[in-house]
Amino acid sequence: MTYLKTTHTRRTLLLPLLVASAGLLCGCPITQTQDTPARHFSERAPASGMTYCIYVPSNYTSETAWPLVITLHGTFPWDVAEFQIREWKALAEKRGFIVVAPKCGSLSTQGILPVSQSWRLSDLAEDAQGILDVLETVSRKYNIKRNRVLLTGFSSGGYPMYYTGLRNPETFHAMVARACNFERAVVDDAELTPQTRRIPTMIFVGKDDPALQGDSWAAYRWLHRHGWNKHSAKRKETDGGHLRRPETAYNYWVNYFGGG
């Protein structure tokens, strides 16, 4: 079996096979409106060098602490940080939260081609450092409600979501997996404390998304085997296929856990 290889830097790995086949596979279209009064923009976290997209609502004021959504993209070229910010920004404007989309590693978020386990884990370790750096960078610039930080991933963005969230339970208020990939190797060596097991985790998957049904069940069962209960870890099937569903993730966060 041939694996992808990369140096451990925060740069995009070119995937000629994926790009060549992009027109043959079904992508994940962004259906959310792009008509927002403010513009999203890109920045770089200084310590890690991780780039990220950010949207700050037009009525932002530093006098109020704002909830934060950190959303992690899936496999290039079907999903990138730019796509994630575009799917979330109208909701952020309407509901009143800041959203950031870090640019993760090309192997950590590879959900189609086979990847060496050691290379993926190395990329994920860099992702985790970068995501925390992005959070600290944004928190220095804006008044963030640090006890209301949602970590969510779409598709293979589940790899860095589980890896980072389970290793930093004091940082994230909840995790929401949206049609996410899952591997035990990503989570098995995480140190699980009582605080970790209190991270509310919701797993969404489309009824017509057979490729991710197995991964969603694997994640759900892993969580329950390791101390999550029926209230702290849930799995839900939604109508349709491999769809982005930021509204579903946000509504769960707010309605069930008081995320806003």
Report all structural domains of the chain as residue ranges with CATH numbers, in order of start.
35-257 (3.40.50.1820)
Q: Tell me: pLDDT of 259 over 60.
A: no
Distance of CA 91 to the CA centre of its chain: 16
Q: Taking the model in full, what pTM does it have?
A: 0.89
For 77-124, the pLDDT digits (tens) are: 899 999 999 999 999 999 999 999 999 999 999 999 999 999 999 999
Q: Is the pLDDT of residue 1 over 50?
A: no
How far is the C-alpha of 74 from the C-alpha of 28, rounded, in Å?
10
Q: Is pLDDT of 23 > 70?
A: no
Instruction: Please give the mean pLDDT across all residues of the chain.
Output: 88
State residue 258's pLDDT score.
57
How far apart, in whole angstroms, are the C-alpha atoms of residue 190 and residue 168? 10
Q: What is the DSSP string of 214-251?
A: HHHHHHHHHHHHTT--TTTEEEEEESSSS---HHHHHH
User: Listing from the earlier edge strand, what are the strands of the sheet with 66-72?
Assistant: 41-44, 51-55, 98-102, 66-72, 144-154, 174-178, 201-206, 233-238
pLDDT at 257: 60
- The tens digit of pLDDT for each residue in 43-80 reads 999 999 999 999 999 999 999 999 999 999 999 989 99
Read off the tokens for 206: 């489309």
CA 148/CA 170 separation, integer angstroms: 11
